[in-house]
A and B are shown apart, each in its own frame.
Chain A
């Protein structure tokens, strides 16, 4: 399994601050994906970064990938209350393997 593991487990920030979370994985990958899950809801795909990419942006999201360290980071800039959710990285070896996630709480 190429399961991603997120760090930290939980993060609490003030609205407007940036949130950074990390993901580590074990084996080589084709791509790495980040997902968000609001409490009790489905998973929302945020961004996919391919193994030959180092950085990718989507709106307020920035993802980096370091294949030499087998790690990725997700940065959410100018956080909003609506960003409160759990964030997961998943490596794609066809079947997604999810970690336990980082729970982000954005305080108003």
Chain B
């Protein structure tokens, strides 16, 4: 069964550094998402992406964040100048249509020290 994959599974970085989290969505899906879950808290929507552009973003998704689909398969989340509070699980998801089931990857645990 097709699945969303994410790399790396765990990323440790120093405060102020830039990180790129990678995702490979399900191949025929058209909508892509990033979510974040700080330890012990709710899963929070960050951004959605369709047709090579951001379709919606949350208040969390400020200028520190950017997303890109550099080729036909990868979908990346870049976090510039990381802060301690960026430490969280970051989940990528994809869906075939706008209001359909979203399939989540296993997540990348980002630890900022």
A interface residues, Cβ below 8 angstroms from B: 30-31, 33, 35, 40-45, 48, 88, 92, 94-101
Contact B91 A42 (CB under 8 A): yes
Contact B91 A43 (CB under 8 A): yes
Partner of B102, one of A30, A40, A45, A100: A45
Q: Which 5 A-B pairs have the closest CB atoms?
A: A43-B104, A95-B45, A42-B106, A98-B43, A42-B104
Chain B, interface residues (CB within 8 Å), range: 20 to 34
Overall SS of chain B's interface: strand
Partner of A45, one of B44, B104, B107: B104
Question: Could you say which residues of chain A place their CB within 8 Å of the CB of B91?
Answer: 42-43
Bitwise, B39-57 to A at CB < 8 A (1) or not (0) is 0001111001000000110
Which residues of B19-34 are within 8 A (CB) of A? Answer: 33
Contact A92 B99 (CB under 8 A): yes
B interface residues, Cβ below 8 angstroms from A: 33, 35, 42-45, 48, 55-56, 58, 89, 91, 93, 98-107
Contact B42 A94 (CB under 8 A): no
In the bound complex, CA of A42 to CA of B102 (Å): 12
In the bound complex, CA of A45 to CA of B2 (Å): 13
Nearest chain A residue, comparing its CB with the CB of B45: A95
Question: Could you say which residues of chain A place their CB within 8 Å of the CB of B89?
Answer: 40
Question: Could you say which residues of chain B place their CB within 8 Å of the CB of A99?
Answer: 42
